[in-house]
Amino acid sequence: MSGRISIVVPALDEAAGIRSVLAELQPLRQRGHEVLVVDGGSTDGTPALAAPLADRVISSPRGRAVQQNSGAAAASGDVLLFLHADTTLPEGADVLVLKGLRRTGRGWGRFGVRLSGRHPLLRVVERMIGVRSWLSGIATGDQAIFVRREWFQRVGGFPELPLMEDVAIARALKRLGPPLCLRARVTTSSRRWEERGVARTILLMWRLRWAYFRGADPAELARRYR
C-alpha cells in the first residue's frame, strides 16, 4: 500500500463552509495527499470557492453515493477517505489512517465523532454513535469512512441509494473484515440536529436505521428524512 490518501468531499450548495473545511486539509495536501471535491450541481458558487483549495473539482449527478463513487473513480491514492463537506479531520489524520491500516492489516475503518454544538444532548449523541459503531462494526458517513482502494472495488463502491449508502457499504466491507476503529475524532456540524431538535433527530435517525435494517425502501426513508 502506498502512503497516499485521496480525500473525496461530496458537496452541494456548501458555499458557506466549504473554504474553511478545505483549508483544514491543506497540510495533508502539502504532505502529498490529494483532495477531490465532487459537486452535485451547486447553484451557490461552491465549485469556484473550492477550486483553489482542491486538487480537482469534479461535476457529478446529485446524490452522495453517486458523487463519492465519481470521486473514487478519479482518485489516484491507494486509500480513499470520504469526508462530508461539514466535517473536519483531527490533526495528523493521514498518519493515523496509514499507520493503523499497516499495523492491523485491515482494509477499512472510521474515526470517532464529535458534534460541533454545545447542547448537552449532543454529548449523548456522540457517545451513542461511538457505542453503536463499536458494537455493530458499522460506520456512518459522519465518521469519515476510509478504505483501501482494492477493498472499495471489491464491494463495488457505494450502492447508489438515496439514503443509507454509508451503512450499506459498511455492511459490505464488514463482510470482508472488521473496521479499524480510530479513537481520534472528526468534528462534524451539529446544524441538522439543532435545526430539527436534538431529541427529535435522535429518534428519527434511530427509527430510519431500524427500518433500513428491516428491509425498508431507501427511497421512502429518504423522503421521511427530508
Domains annotated on the chain, with CATH: 5-117+138-190 (3.90.550.10)
Rg (CA), the chain: 16
% of the chain surpassing 90 pLDDT: 70
Give CA–CA dist 172/158, Å, rounded. Answer: 9
Whether the pLDDT of residue 96 is over 50: the answer is yes
Whether the pLDDT of residue 1 is over 50: the answer is no
What is the tally of helices (H) and strands (E) in the chain? 11, 8
pTM: 0.88
What does the pLDDT average to over 25-41?
98
Whether the pLDDT of residue 117 is over 90: the answer is no
Whether the pLDDT of residue 51 is over 80: the answer is yes
